[in-house]
Amino acid sequence: MRLQTLFYGCVLLLGSTEIWANDSTGYVGTGGVTYKKNLDITMQSENLFISKQLIKVDYEFRNESKKDISETVLFPLPAIEAEMDGDFADTAKLIQSFKVKVNGQVLKPKMNVRAFMSEYPLPAQGEAVEKVHDVTAALIACGLTEQELMNPWYRQLDSHRISNKIKACQQPQIQKLLSMSGDEEVLWSAQIIYSWQQTFKANSITHVQHQYQPLLGGAVAWYDPEHENPFCMDASFQKSMKRLRAEQSGYYSLSYILTTGKNWANKIENFKLTVEKDPKELVSFCWDGPVKKISATQFQATMKNFVPQKELEVIFLQLQR
């Protein structure tokens, strides 16, 4: 489903679209994060609000069993590269803005950090396939602190000093990956995962809410790559872009991960999505079903017994003044 309206706004100079996700149950292990499907807890409703300034999600979970169930609820943020070219958004501000409420009470989640390095094997034919390895345990064994592992998010420490510390790490996993990269700089990234222990009362509904200020992808000018259209910018939208002289406009974009919602029992009984734009904007996103304009700045889609099969990609396109 394609939508369009109008907006003014400054453009953030970012080269990539950031990812946000639904809650899911699981645990944080030394090898990384493991999700598990819970057969007793249903997601009775999900109310998702998305704008450039705020993402807010309200859930109602129902424990269908006759006993209380305790689970670790996980919320993963995207992996951020240690070395970034050009301008980048205030990642620390996103962390500061993250809030969780359970049944109306503010909860302070635990912050877990994972570190990753990539492997670039020589291909037998065609292009190499990048393999990402969790190297958290190896780097901790070499003396890297949690603060150093979180530096891609906070950027308060000397990244070159941390890079040299990783180069000096004699753990076999690290040395193998370093030998395959062929770069002077160490190519690594850090992911923050929020987690909290949650008790779902028997035959009861648990209300969970979280919100945060998103990171946004974007550029000073829209470039329409051939054969790529993750935002469902159809012929009608392209016509509007031309009429409003927005073909080379700057834009914001974001991607929200919906598919982790499949980790709960059954389907999402009642799903509601609201996308809000600034007063003058072209906005487009894909949706399998009707989308209603509910105000001058908001669009809404609802779904019964929803099983998310793909992620949500949204673009906010700036008009030429």
- Using alpha carbons, list the distances in angstroms from residue 132 to 6, 135, 312: 40, 9, 24
pLDDT, mean of residues 225-252: 71
pLDDT digits (tens, 9 = 90+) for 33-91: 555 677 898 889 999 999 999 999 999 999 999 999 998 888 888 888 887 654 456 78
Strand blocks (E) in the chain? 19-21, 24-29, 32-35, 38-50, 55-63, 69-81, 99-102, 105-107, 110-119, 131-134, 188-200, 205-212, 217-219, 251-257, 264-265, 268-276, 282-285, 292-293, 298-306, 312-317
Residue (of 171, 161, 287) closest to 231 by Cα position: 287
Mean pLDDT across the stretch 113-137?
76
Average pLDDT estimate for 220-227: 60
Q: Are 311 and 38 in contact (CB under 8 A)?
A: no
Percent of the chain at pLDDT above 70?
78
How far apart, in whole angstroms, are the C-alpha atoms of residue 119 and residue 129? 8
Spell out the residues 6+ positions from residue 156 whose beta carbon is closer than 8 angstroms to its own.
none
User: Residue 10 above 60 pLDDT?
Assistant: no
Q: How confident is the model at residue 105 (pLDDT cuts 50, 70, 90)?
A: very high
pLDDT given for residue 84 in this prediction = 65
Sorted by where each begins, the domain ranges of the chain are 19-317
Tell me what the mean pLDDT of segment 6-20 comes to: 35
Average pLDDT over residues 190-217: 91
Structure tokens at 176: 């193998």
Decide: 190 and 115 in contact? Cβ < 8 Å: yes
CATH of domain 19-317: 2.60.40.3680
Percent pLDDT > 90 in the chain is: 42
DSSP structural state of residue 4: -
Statement: residue 318 has pLDDT above 70: yes
pLDDT of residue 218: 74
| pLDDT-wise least confident of 114-123, 244-253, 257-266, 272-281 | 244-253
Q: What pLDDT was estimated at residue 12?
A: 26
Per-residue pLDDT band at 203 (split at 50, 70, 90): very high
Report the chain's mean pLDDT, rounded to a whole number. Answer: 81
Q: What is the pLDDT of residues 166-188, one digit of tens each?
A: 999 999 999 999 988 766 778 89
Q: Which one is predicted more confidently, 99 or 36?
A: 99
Give the whole-angstrom CA distance, residue 43 versus residue 262: 9
CA 117, 122, 123, 127 dihedral sign is positive
Q: What is the mean pLDDT of residues 121-148?
A: 81
pTM, two decimal places: 0.80
